[in-house]
Amino acid sequence: MKRIIVLLAISFFAHQVSAQNTTYFTGSSAIDGLSADWSEEILSVDEKTKFTTAIRNDSENLYILFQTADRLAINKLLQAGMEITFKAKTKPKLNAKLEFPLETVRAQGGNRGQGQRAAQGQRNSGEAVDREKLFKERIERQLQSKNQAKLKGFSASNGHLLLTDLDGVEMALGMDETTEAPTFGYEIKIALKTLYGMAPNWDKVYSTELAINITVNGIERPQGAGGGGTSLRGGGGGRGGAGGGRGGGGRGGAGGRRPNANQAQSNSGVDMFSDQTVKLKYTLSKEN
């Protein structure tokens, strides 16, 4: 099966903190939003959100992988956006935030209505609607539209920028359809000098734990909506959250295999209006 990949090169709160294996990476990595070059041993599934994450580093860069096969989460992520924060008690202290993908801004009578009208037209004409095809096409359009990010606290690029204008950061979003359940992936590569500065105390950097919080934002509740717990299914223009694509063997995460179709739907009752955060701890590793 084909892989839908969008390269963007350049660059519930979970109360449990997952400790990621300290992993030094010696190979080469294509930042494409896929997990093909990530070892299953370092993938970790957050128990509450069911999102899959992994972290590794080499002598120059930090790498992060985020995955989910839950369609409600994917819709939520692409609609409401995500943010990742980095904090460490280094010298100087690290306190940075990366917002990507950004929240979708709906136009008056925009693409969502067009997509819904097209699908309705097919139903009215008696044609069978291929829901799977419509879902894939909609997600591909949304991924292609994610070309901006907001950064704060980094040593180089900061502010609301096009991805092509970023320095020291490379990101990719992708949909891997080679798995049993199509899996959304978000891959990041950040230069250590972009994260910690050009002249930090490197001994302190390598001995200090890095706190990384990955948040899928909640969708803004519709005006006049009632209590929480409402599930939003499919629909056009939704941005979704991310959840575990493959099981992990990392510390603090539940091990397992790639989810099947039933597992991918296990979060169908998720509250679309609440933030979901995976809290991670990581210590940079030096080459042996």
Instruction: In whole angstroms, give the CA distance from residue 244 to residue 40.
Output: 12
Quote the pLDDT of residue 269. Answer: 52
| Residue 18 within any structural domain of the chain | yes
| Residue 238 within any structural domain of the chain | no
Quote the pLDDT of residue 112. Answer: 45
| Residue 114 within any structural domain of the chain | no
The predicted-structure confidence for 13-48, as pLDDT tens digits, reads as follows 334 456 555 678 777 778 999 998 999 999 999 999
| Residue 17 within any structural domain of the chain | yes
| Residue 130 within any structural domain of the chain | no
| Residue 144 within any structural domain of the chain | no
The structural domain count of the chain equals 1
| Residue 183 within any structural domain of the chain | yes
Could you tell me the CATH number of the domain that includes residue 206? 2.60.40
Query: Model pTM?
Result: 0.74
Q: Looking at residues 86-95, what average pLDDT do you find? A: 96
The predicted-structure confidence for 194-251, as pLDDT tens digits, reads as follows 999 999 999 999 999 999 999 999 998 887 655 443 333 333 333 333 333 333 333 3
217 in Cβ contact with 13 (< 8 Å): no
Which residue segment(s) compose the domain that 49 sits in? 13-105+150-215+275-283
| Residue 234 within any structural domain of the chain | no
